[in-house]
Amino acid sequence: MIDLHTHTFFSDGALVPAEHLRRVEVLGYQAVAITDHADSSNLDFIIPRIVQAAKDLNPHSSVRLLPGIELTHVPPALIRPLTEQARKLGAKVVVVHGETPVEPVIEGTNRAAIEARVDVLSHPGFISEDDVRLAAANSVMLELSGRKGHSLTNGHVAKLALKIGAKLAVNADAHDPGDFLTVEMAKKVGLGAGLSEEEYTQIQKNMADFVASLK
């Protein structure tokens, strides 16, 4: 079990990284990315602290903690430079807060994130077929979300991704202890979006391969 989109108290989550990591260890995870919300005002505050947490905690946990960030509601023109800055600061997983149907995310955010070659485009809402094609070409994973509201368009995202061949990720977007997906619930998110058992298994393999590729 891998999750590439979670939050701690460095943004709007509830837990310190140590408890965050322990909670998912008990659930049998192999890896988890902490991707707190950021823009240009706090990027350089959050990432070094998650990098330090990973350095301190990983030797003592069976779960690999991946330092990351979620660029949230930033103007599309800023996504590429902030992505580059995040990587320089040590982020292993860069997520962009996509055009969810339940928030007023700026139109063009999905496209800018894909063009910037971020790792995960979270809850991309009614993403266009052209953007899904570009995501496939740029190896950007499109998220099937376990979070209320954001999950409303999972079926649309899954349908286009499967048609075109774009990679998917199933993530909790966890903020509180009760938000973490169990292995069983993560599978329900995938199957509920219209995936077959085989397609869901392939998503998990793709996510594992991504984590394995990170140094």
Q: What is the 3-state secondary structure (H, E, C) of the chain?
A: CEEEEECCCCCCCCCCHHHHHHHHHHCCCCEEEECCEECCCCHHHHHHHHHHHHHHHHHHCCCEEEEEEEECCCCHHHHHHHHHHHHHHCCCEEEEECCCCCCCCCCCHHHHHHHCCCCEEECCCCCCHHHHHHHHHCCCEEEEECCCCHHHHHHHHHHHHHHHCCCEEEECCECCHHHCCCHHHHHHHHHHCCCCHHHHHHHHHHHHHHHHHCC
Predicted TM-score (pTM) of the model is 0.97
pLDDT at 210: 98
Which residues have a Cβ under 8 Å from the Cβ of 196 and sit 6 or more positions away? none
- In total, the chain counts a number of residues equal to 215
Q: Which of 181, 210, 203, 208 is nearest to 28 (CA)?
A: 181
User: Domain locations in the chain?
Assistant: 2-213
The residue type found at 60 is H
Fold category of 2-213 in CATH: TIM Barrel (3.20.20)
pLDDT at 99: 98
pLDDT at 163: 98
Q: Which of 77, 81, 108, 107 is nearest to 94 (CA)?
A: 81
pLDDT at 215: 82
Name residues of the chain where pLDDT drops below 50.
none
